[in-house]
Every structure is written in C-alpha cells, then in structure tokens.
Amino acid sequence: MYQEGEESMFLKKYGDLAVGIVFTVLAVLIYGMASQLPPNLLGGVGSDFMPKIIAVGMGILGVLQCAEGVRTVRKEAAQEPEEEKPEYLRVLGTVVAFGIYVFTIKPIGFLPCSIVYLFAQMMILAPKEKRNILLFAGISVVFNVAVYYLFRSGLNVMLPTGILG
C-alpha cells in the first residue's frame, strides 16, 4: 500500500489528527461507562467521579489534538516535506524510565518515585536547548505533592508509602 518513507510521511501529516479523534472517542466512551457506575450511597464523591474527570480531561485534550492535527495538515500542504530522523533513544529512555518506576514505586513509595520519574521523563523528552533543570524539578515536586494530597486527603485513596512509611 505504502512505499518506504510514505508511511512515515502519512503518520507525520495525519498522526495528530488520528490520535485526537481516537482520544476524543475514547473519552466519550469512558464518560458513558463511568455514568453506569453505582452512585455513592453515603453522599459525597462516588466511584464515578474520577473516571468522569479523566474522561473530560481526555476529551478536552483530544479536541485540542484534533485542532493541532488540522493545523499540521494545512501547514504540511503549504510546504515541501523535510527529512526527520527517528528518535529511538528517547523511546528507549521512556520505556526504561517507566520500567524502573513501576518496579520501585512499591518499595520506595509513590511520592519519591513519581518526582524522580516525572523529572526524568521531562529531561528525556525535552530538546537539549530547552532543558531547564530547576523548572523541571519544581514542576515535578509541586505536581506530585499536589497529586499525592489530592488522592490521600481528597479522595481517600491509599498510595504506596514505601520507605516513607
């Protein structure tokens, strides 16, 4: 169907749009399935709350991704293609970092592992000229502390405490 090189050009041109559509449809399905969960009989936040929040966030991001995809398609139509080399090291780095995160979260704990993982992931994915260690460290700490307290205090969900006990 595609010759060598044509498939990667197709994905580069329409990939954002396709991913946006898939995530938007998935968000609608998740929201619909979350609506079928039983309500909390004691009042307050029920088991449907978090899936609905995630679905709404996914839907918003999916629509934004679709808009970016349309913009990319229009931009690509206006200019000639350029060669771009695949970034296998970033993919490998992401897989390795995630594997380490999964195997260390239980013994070490959610908070320290998540801070280190998010920082590492930002360093792996950011272009060298845009890496800002202090900004990435600050975002990692603030975001993960906020998530930790949201789950522990707001949603009463126990997260692995590990060495923090």
98-127 per-position pLDDT tens digit: 888 888 888 888 888 888 888 988 888 888
Summarize pLDDT for 61-103 with one digit per residue, the tens: 888 888 888 887 777 766 765 566 667 788 888 888 888 888 8
Is 36 contained in some domain? yes
Is 140 contained in some domain? yes
Domain hosting 109: range is: 88-164
Q: Examine the domain organization and report whether 116 and 68 are in the same domain.
A: no
Q: Examine the domain organization and report whether 95 and 74 are in the same domain.
A: no
53, 78, 103: which is the final residue of a domain? Answer: 78
Is 83 contained in some domain? no
Q: How many residues does the chain have?
A: 165
How many independent structural domains does the chain possess?
Answer: 2
Q: Who contacts 81 (Cβ-Cβ below 8 Å, separation ≥6)? A: 9
CB 158, CB 107: distance < 8 Å: no
